């Protein structure tokens, strides 16, 4: 009786687990199921007929709107304009500072380490500049130890120096702060040493005699001098080495016998060979059939591995079961019910024996089986099969032949909403106008038209593009229900004359005439009146002439001696424009840098790199830099990632 209760509880837990992993989706544009049923955001809202697009990563209630923004991993939201700004490379989570400048990182991607609120890449080459001379000497010294050309990416950096402090297994930290590979099979601390051997190897206290020569003090073509002997460049292991076990299936061994075996093997009685267990055993001892653990699809009973219920040697449908054969886990695309694995019918995600009880999206349940929704239907009612949402490019509307039926009708006329399946539009998006049952763009049908209406016969333009400094300005031609291009130089015009002119032109008898003076913004027939930004007006030889403002000025006073505004990357200081602090993100009212860009710290009113590329001497004790985070101190550290491949070749 107790066993029956236990089995019932196991079945109940298993059935509940399977059900909770699946979700039905209906009329949801903000979330859709991916292949593994995880929720994925797409950006849209449901208008009762179709999903209308929002701005990227936004929820909205109108076309391309944004009510709330939620950015993906590796991005940060700029709420002022509702956009997602990418974090710096390697930064998984970051914060904004002034305007759109990244301030700091709080979490890094794999392969990067957070140091001083920056994500520093874990690289192969991390060498101090002060070591370059040493590198050169070692690589050119005929009596130096040979250098392995196999390197690994650093696992961990020192938080104060940013140099590598930890290497993967089978690699050691060499004198150049690189992770250099140990000799084959060896775990070492430095070149020429071997602390212990990896699985499948045993330690020999004598170096490989096949490549060792006892002659000292001379250099051979095949190797370098080391520890009083000449060692081949491939086998520079000093006083000893790790030798591979004779038995390829042994984990621990000596030169004459094996002491332990790999998973799936057992040691023979003579301890000379690791023998494979039976195929159904994942572990055994003393003999191939004396199992201690089983492969998937088998259960252990009396030191033997027996097939779970429903399994055959060729077809494993149950992956895990208890001793009675009662299944606990089924293979992919199978469903577990009361200790048995069943193949559900097409479209079914939860079934009992041959009867389905829940269907996948795109199917509906009928008489215990899943029926496919109609063509072009994304989702349909899981009881009736009536469409509830269409695939992209189709709208959910009433059938023109039967208004009680909902069908998916192709949207061929750019409709936001349709009357019925006859494909006539009833509503258009903001940049379209409804015309004879279709949604059309004014500009596409009437060149230069920015707004138009339908007079039940034709499209009638009500507004034309004007006030454009690019010169493409139009006036409304009521006689032709369209827009006519203005003459050259006109900013605004009518059918008879220009009303105003572009910069650099003046109005004369209804026409715009180009100014003769260079850099002139407004003029008359006689002379220049005002100059373009960056210039000031001055009389030269009786003529008004536009003279260049002082260096860096975008605007200056009438005599051209003092700046009033500056060009980008310049700062107004003492009535002049000076080059701004490089990498400064924000200035105060006195033109002094207030906040630096990501990766730079404010020191003596200038932005310095949080990474010192100059020497190997830490300046942590002397200074506390603020690395892109103006309110929180962080450590100054040293990172020089130099590509030495070309240098060393």
The 10s digit of each residue's pLDDT in 510-543 is 999 999 889 999 998 889 999 998 999 998 888 8
What SS3 state is found at 2?
Answer: helix
Are 184 and 238 members of one domain? yes
Nearest residue to 238 (alpha-carbon basis) of 250, 249, 252, 224: 224
Residue 349 located in a structural domain: no
At residue 212, the pLDDT reads: 36
Q: Which residues have C-beta within 8 Å of that of residue 248, sequence separation ≥ 6?
A: 200
Residue with tokens 């149950």: 318
Q: DSSP letter for 122, please.
A: -
Task: State the pLDDT confidence band at 609, using cuts at 50, 70 and 90.
Answer: confident
Are 644 and 588 members of one domain? yes
**Between residues 192 and 107, which one has the greater pLDDT?**
107
Residue 220 located in a structural domain: yes
Residue 338 located in a structural domain: no
Integer Cα distance of 310 and 140 in angstroms: 69
At residue 406, the pLDDT reads: 94
β-pairing verdict for 363-366 and 498-501: unpaired
pLDDT at 246 over 70: yes
Q: DSSP letter for 138, please.
A: H
At residue 395, the pLDDT reads: 95
Q: Which of 193, 219, 244 finishes a domain?
A: 244
Are 588 and 576 members of one domain? no
- 171-173 β-sheet, strand order: 151-152, 179-181, 171-173
Domain residue limits at 539: 527-580
Q: What is the mean pLDDT of residues 113-126?
A: 80
CA-to-CA dists, residue 570 to 101, 127, 460, 628, angstroms: 18, 36, 49, 21
At residue 357, the pLDDT reads: 82
Are 212 and 155 members of one domain? yes
Q: Which of 225, 244, 263 finishes a domain?
A: 244
Token representation of residue 69: 């923004």
At residue 170, the pLDDT reads: 86
At residue 638, the pLDDT reads: 29
Q: What is the mean pLDDT of residues 55-76?
A: 87
At residue 194, the pLDDT reads: 81
pLDDT at 131 over 80: no
Are 136 and 239 members of one domain? yes
Task: Name residue 46's beta-bridge partners.
Answer: 51
Residue 261 located in a structural domain: no
Are 576 and 593 members of one domain? no
Residue with tokens 């057992």: 266
pLDDT at 249 over 90: yes
Are 500 and 591 members of one domain? no
H-helix or E-strand containing 372? Answer: strand 369-372
Are 236 and 146 members of one domain? yes
At residue 229, the pLDDT reads: 32
Convert 272-281 to b/e letters by CB count within 10 Å (16 or more is b). ebbeebbebb
Integer Cα distance of 446 and 452 in angstroms: 9
Are 549 and 609 members of one domain? no
Residue 408 located in a structural domain: no
Task: State the pLDDT confidence band at 42, using cuts at 50, 70 and 90.
Answer: low
Residue 1 located in a structural domain: no
**Between residues 324 and 187, which one has the greater pLDDT?**
187
Integer Cα distance of 119 and 111 in angstroms: 9
Q: DSSP letter for 52, please.
A: E
pLDDT at 507 over 90: yes
Residue with tokens 């045993």: 202
Q: Which of 201, 227, 244 finishes a domain?
A: 244
Integer Cα distance of 30 and 25 in angstroms: 11
Are 475 and 502 members of one domain? yes
Q: DSSP letter for 79, please.
A: T
At residue 30, the pLDDT reads: 53
What SS3 state is found at 319?
Answer: strand
Task: Name residue 173's beta-bridge partners.
Answer: 179
What is the CA 161 to chain-centroid distance, rounded?
28
Number of domains in the chain: 4
pLDDT at 615 over 80: no
Q: What is the mean pLDDT of residues 559-564?
A: 90
Integer Cα distance of 159 and 166 in angstroms: 12
What is the CA 314 to chain-centroid distance, rounded?
42
At residue 278, the pLDDT reads: 96
Q: Mean pLDDT across the chain, nearest whole number? A: 77
Are 484 and 502 members of one domain? yes
Token representation of residue 584: 């400064």
**Between residues 204 and 263, which one has the greater pLDDT?**
263
At residue 466, the pLDDT reads: 92
Residue 47 located in a structural domain: no
- Structural contact between residues 135 and 124, judged by C-beta atoms closer than 8 angstroms: no
H-helix or E-strand containing 446? Answer: none
Task: Indicate yes or no: pTM above 0.85.
Answer: no
Q: What is the mean pLDDT of residues 428-456?
A: 90
At residue 264, the pLDDT reads: 95
pLDDT at 228 over 60: no
Q: Which of 72-86, 202-216, 389-403 has the lowest mean pLDDT?
A: 202-216
- Structural contact between residues 104 and 628, judged by C-beta atoms closer than 8 angstroms: yes
- Structural contact between residues 423 and 431, judged by C-beta atoms closer than 8 angstroms: no
Residue 531 located in a structural domain: yes
Q: What is the pLDDT of residues 269-316, one digit of tens each?
A: 888 889 999 999 999 999 999 999 999 999 999 999 999 988 999 999
Q: What is the pLDDT of residues 377-398, one digit of tens each?
A: 988 887 788 999 888 889 999 9
- Structural contact between residues 313 and 321, judged by C-beta atoms closer than 8 angstroms: no
Indicate which CATH number applies to the domain containing 555: 2.10.220.10
Are 510 and 531 members of one domain? no
DSSP track, 215-258: --S---TTEEEETTEEEETT---TT-EEEE-SSTTEEEE-SS-E
What SS3 state is found at 137?
Answer: helix
Task: State the pLDDT confidence band at 439, using cuts at 50, 70 and 90.
Answer: very high
Q: What are phi and psi of 277, to 5 degrees?
A: -75, 170
**How many C-beta neighbours within 10 Å does residue 292 have?**
15
Token representation of residue 122: 């874990």
- Structural contact between residues 232 and 209, judged by C-beta atoms closer than 8 angstroms: no
């Amino acid at each position: 009786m107790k066993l029956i209760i236990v089995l019932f509880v196991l079945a109940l837990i298993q059935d509940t687990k399977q059900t909770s992993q699946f979700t039905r989706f209906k009329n949801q544009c903000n979330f859709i199921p991916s292949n593994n049923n995880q929720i994925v955001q797409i950006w849209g809202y449901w208008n009762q007929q179709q999903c209308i697009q929002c701005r990227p990563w936004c929820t909205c209630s109108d076309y391309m709107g944004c009510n709330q923004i939620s950015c993906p991993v590796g991005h940060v939201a700029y709420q002022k304009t509702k956009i997602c700004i990418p974090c710096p490379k390697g930064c998984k989570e970051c914060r904004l500072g002034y305007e759109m400048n990244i301030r700091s990182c709080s979490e890094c991607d794999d392969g990067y380490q957070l140091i001083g609120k920056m994500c520093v890449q874990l690289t192969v080459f991390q060498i101090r500049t002060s070591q370059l001379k040493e590198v050169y000497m070692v690589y050119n010294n005929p009596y130096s130890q040979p250098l392995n050309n196999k390197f690994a990416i650093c696992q961990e950096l020192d938080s104060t120096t940013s140099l590598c402090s930890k290497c993967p297994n089978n690699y050691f930290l060499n004198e150049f702060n690189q992770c250099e590979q140990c000799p084959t099979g060896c775990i070492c601390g430095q070149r020429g040493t071997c602390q212990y051997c990896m699985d499948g190897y045993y330690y020999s206290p004598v170096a490989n005699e096949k490549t060792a020569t006892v002659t000292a003090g001379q250099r051979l073509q095949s190797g370098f001098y080391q520890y009083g002997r000449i060692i081949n460049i491939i086998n520079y292991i000093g006083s000893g080495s790790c030798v591979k076990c004779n038995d390829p299936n042994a984990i621990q061994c000596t030169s004459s016998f094996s002491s332990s075996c790999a998973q799936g093997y057992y040691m023979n009685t003579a301890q000379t060979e690791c023998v494979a267990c039976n195929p159904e055993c994942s572990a055994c001892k003393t003999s191939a059939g004396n199992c201690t653990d089983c492969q998937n699809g088998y259960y252990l009973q009396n030191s033997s591995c027996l097939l779970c219920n429903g399994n055959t040697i060729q077809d494993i449908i149950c992956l895990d079961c208890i001793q009675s054969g009662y299944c606990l886990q089924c293979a992919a695309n199978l469903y577990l019910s009361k200790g048995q694995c069943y193949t559900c019918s097409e479209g079914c995600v939860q079934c009992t024996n041959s009867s389905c009880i829940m269907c996948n999206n795109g199917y509906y349940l009928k008489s215990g089986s899943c029926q496919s929704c109609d063509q072009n239907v994304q989702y349909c009612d899981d009881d009736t099969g009536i469409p509830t949402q269409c695939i992209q490019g189709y709208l959910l509307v009433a059938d023109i032949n039967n208004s009680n039926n909902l069908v998916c009708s192709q949207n061929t006329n750019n409709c936001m909403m349709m009357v019925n399946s006859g494909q006539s539009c009833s509503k258009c998006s903001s940049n379209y106008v409804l015309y004879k049952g279709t949604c059309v763009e004014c500009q596409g049908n009437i060149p230069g038209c920015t707004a138009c209406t339908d007079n039940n016969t034709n499209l009638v333009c009500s507004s034309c593009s004007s006030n454009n400094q690019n010169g493409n300005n139009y006036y409304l031609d009521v006689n032709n229900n369209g827009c006519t291009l203005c003459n050259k130089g006109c900013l605004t015009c009518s059918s008879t004359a220009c009303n105003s002119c572009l910069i650099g032109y003046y109005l004369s008898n209804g026409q715009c005439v180009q100014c003769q003076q260079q850099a002139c913004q407004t003029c008359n027939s006689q002379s220049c009146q005002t100059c373009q930004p960056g210039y000031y007006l001055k009389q030269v030889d009786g003529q008004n002439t536009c003279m260049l403002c002082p260096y860096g000025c975008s605007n200056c006073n009438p005599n051209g001696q003092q700046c009033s505004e500056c060009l980008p990357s310049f700062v107004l200081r003492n009535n002049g424009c000076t080059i701004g602090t490089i990498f400064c993100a924000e200035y105060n009212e006195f033109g002094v840098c207030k906040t630096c860009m990501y990766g730079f710290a404010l020191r003596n009113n200038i932005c310095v790199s949080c990474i010192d590329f100059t020497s190997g001497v830490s300046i942590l004790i002397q200074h506390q830099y603020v690395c892109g985070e103006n309110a929180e101190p962080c450590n100054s550290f040293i990172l020089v990632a130099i590509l030495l491949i070309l240098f060393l070749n």
